[in-house]
């Protein structure tokens, strides 16, 4: 097997010998260190054998001393393959360029179609897509994944309820669902309005129904605020009570904040590396330098490559290495106390409705415990305390 591989890389030729003394000629070759194999006697004065291409030049003095003539037949091996390739270089180059062009064209965007959108919304979508690089002639493997494109569109265009992004071959399809105008409110069944928690009434806005409380009244949870039964005795009717009853309510928040904390932040520095990936094996094609950051986070983006209409098991992979650094934060007592108050207020606002407001706050307890600040705060809040309660038979 080793000899066969050596013969292939060095090259071999078939030699046809004619004349008197063919056996002596072959023996002379062997005495001069010329390797021959597959020796066959084809006639009384003819024979064939194979020899290495590099030994052909050594035959000249042996031929002169013999009465034989040589004719070269079949040639094989790497040197002849190279020679034939060079002779057909134009043809091979044409095939390579054709495949390269088809490959590149298969991985470009040739059309962008938006379906289900109004003309003005479609124009805005195409404008945003152009800013993201999604347009005719763009390479697919340089674009964001469809999921990222979908998120960016819904974040940037507030008139979209949902957008589906699909890449079929060389065409991007965008299926759009726009936000609809709010429908007319559905009929509401007859009901009362009751208090959802204990409060002191501060204001009333009753659209329909009979108010049963007034400003400064103290109410308990579940107490009726607005009755859905109106009219005088004997001439009453049921209505869906509507309105807002604002009351002063109370909340207690507890926040524990460490005086020392460590966390990682991005420095803004990054490098990119590009790979051609086949399953889990990656071949670097750009960005060969070693990652210069001691601490970093890697963001990977993969795009499948295509040839004509087929998706290849080959991916273009882009990896972004972003440098991070550890930041230690140390609070003084006053800083930690103020930060804890900010956190408590922010958490409370997240629980309240939009029309609620914080009237006042009072710190009940603030102490330093085991390297942490513990703060308890009491809040006075003005909010709508009315919730509906269906009218049942017997009210």
Can you give the pLDDT at residue 4?
66
Residue 3: the pLDDT is 63
Q: Does 368 fall in a domain?
A: yes
What does each C-alpha distance from 300 to 143, 255, 274 come to in angstroms? Answer: 13, 38, 10
User: What CATH number is given to the structural domain containing 138?
Assistant: 3.10.20.310
Residues 167 and 115 in one domain: yes
Task: Give dist(CA 49, CA 16) in Å, integer.
Answer: 7
Closest by Cα among 144, 114, 103 to 307: 103
How high is the mean pLDDT of the chain?
85
Closest to 76 in 3D by CA, of 1, 9, 16: 9
**Band of pLDDT at residue 374, cut at 50, 70 and 90:** very high
> Over 90: is that where the pLDDT of 369 sits?
no
Region of residue 203 (left: phi > 0; alpha: psi -120 to 50; beta: else): beta
Lowest mean pLDDT among 86-90, 97-101, 319-323: 86-90
For residue 395, what pLDDT is reported? 56
Comparison of pLDDT for 81 and 225, the residue scoring more: 225
Report whether pLDDT(324) > 80.
yes
In this structure, the answer to whether residues 171 and 232 fall within a common structural domain is no
Instruction: Tell me what percent of the residues of the chain surpass a pLDDT of 70.
Output: 96
Q: Report the predicted TM-score, pTM, of the whole model to 2 decimal places.
A: 0.46
Is residue 277, in this structure, part of any structural domain at all? yes
pLDDT band at 1 (very low <50, low <70, confident <90, very high): very low
Packed helices 2-10 and 78-87: angle between N→C axes, nearest 10 degrees: 40
Q: How many CB atoms lie within 10 A of CB 203?
A: 11
Distance of alpha carbon 316 from alpha carbon 283, whole angstroms: 10
Q: Is 391 helix (H, G, I), strand (E, B) or coil?
A: coil
Q: What is the pLDDT of residues 331-347, one digit of tens each?
A: 888 888 899 999 999 99
Residue pair 37/26 in contact by the 8 Å Cβ criterion: no
In a domain, 96, yes or no: no
| Domain shared by 200 and 266, yes or no | no
Residue 384 has pLDDT above 60, yes or no: yes
Over residues 245-273, mean pLDDT: 89
In a domain, 388, yes or no: no
Helix (H, G, I), strand (E, B), or coil: what is residue 48?
Answer: strand
Residue 188 pLDDT level (bands cut at 50, 70, 90): confident
Question: Is the pLDDT at 187 greater than 70, yes or no?
Answer: yes
Q: Which domain holds residue 205?
A: 191-247
∠ at Cα 389 (386, 393), nearest 5°?
Answer: 150
Domain contains 173: yes
Distance CA 225, CA 201 (A): 10
- 336 and 312 in a single domain? The answer is no
- Band of the pLDDT at 357, cuts 50, 70, 90? very high
The span from the CA of 116 to the CA of 319, in Å, is 35
Round to whole Å and give the CA distance between 195 and 178: 38
d(CA 191, CA 193): 7
Q: Say if residue 323 is in the same domain as residue 338.
A: no
- Residue 114 pLDDT greater than 60, yes or no: yes
Residues 6+ apart with CB under 8 A from 3: none
Tally of domains in the chain:
5
Give Dmax over CA atoms of the chain in angstroms. 145
Question: In this predicted structure, what is the pLDDT of residue 248?
Answer: 95
Name the phi and psi angles at 220, rounded to 5.
-105, 165
Cα 302 to Cα 49, 144, 277: the distances in Å are 57, 9, 9
* Residue 185, pLDDT score: 67
Residue 102 in any domain: the answer is no
Mean pLDDT across 357-379? 91
Q: Mark whether 323 and 344 lie in a shared domain.
A: no
CATH code assigned at 62 = 3.30.70.120
Are 35 and 20 found together in one domain? Answer: yes
CB hemisphere CA count around 376 (13 angstroms) = 4
- Domain match, 316 and 338 both: no
Same domain, residue pair 146 and 211: no
200: in domain: yes
3-state class of 394 per DSSP?
coil
- Residue 291 within a domain: yes
Task: Write down the pLDDT at residue 307.
Answer: 73
């Amino acid at each position: 097997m080793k000899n066969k591989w050596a013969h292939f890389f060095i090259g071999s030729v078939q030699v046809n010998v004619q004349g008197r003394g063919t056996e002596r000629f072959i023996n002379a070759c062997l005495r001069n260190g010329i390797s021959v194999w597959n020796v066959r006697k084809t006639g009384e004065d003819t024979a064939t054998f194979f020899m290495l291409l590099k030994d052909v030049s050594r035959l000249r003095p042996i031929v002169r001393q013999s009465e034989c003539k040589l004719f070269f037949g079949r040639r094989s091996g790497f040197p002849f393959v190279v020679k034939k390739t060079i002779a057909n270089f134009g043809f091979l180059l044409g095939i390579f360029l054709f495949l390269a062009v088809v490959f590149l064209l298969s991985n470009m965007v040739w059309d962008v179609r938006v379906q289900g959108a109004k003309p003005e919304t479609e124009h805005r979508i195409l404008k945003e897509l152009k800013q993201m690089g999604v347009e005719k002639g763009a390479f697919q493997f340089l674009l964001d994944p469809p999921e990222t494109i979908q998120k960016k569109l819904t974040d940037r265009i507030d008139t979209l309820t949902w957008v589906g992004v699909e890449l079929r071959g060389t065409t991007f399809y965008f299926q759009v669902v726009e936000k609809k105008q709010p429908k007319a409110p559905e009929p509401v069944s007859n009901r009362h309005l009751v208090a959802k928690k204990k409060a002191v009434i501060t204001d009333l806005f009753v659209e329909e129904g009979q108010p049963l409380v007034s400003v400064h009244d103290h109410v308990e949870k579940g107490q009726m605020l607005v009755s859905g039964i109106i009219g005088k005795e004997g001439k009453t009717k049921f209505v869906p009570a509507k309105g807002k009853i604002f009351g002063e309510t109370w909340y207690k928040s507890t926040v524990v904040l460490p005086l020392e904390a460590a966390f990682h932040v991005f420095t803004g520095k990054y490098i990119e590396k590009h790979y051609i990936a086949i399953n889990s094996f990656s071949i670097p094609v750009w960005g060969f330098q070693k990652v210069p950051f001691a601490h970093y986070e890697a963001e990977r983006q993969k795009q499948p490559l295509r040839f004509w209409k087929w998706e290849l098991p080959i991916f273009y992979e882009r990896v972004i290495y972003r440098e991070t650094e550890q930041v230690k934060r140390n609070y003084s007592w006053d800083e930690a106390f103020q930060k804890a108050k900010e956190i408590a207020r922010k958490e409370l606002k997240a629980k309240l409705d939009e029309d609620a407001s914080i009237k006042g706050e009072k710190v009940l307890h603030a102490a330093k415990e085991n390297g942490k600040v513990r703060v308890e705060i009491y809040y006075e809040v003005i909010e709508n305390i009315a919730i509906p309660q269906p009218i049942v038979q017997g009210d």
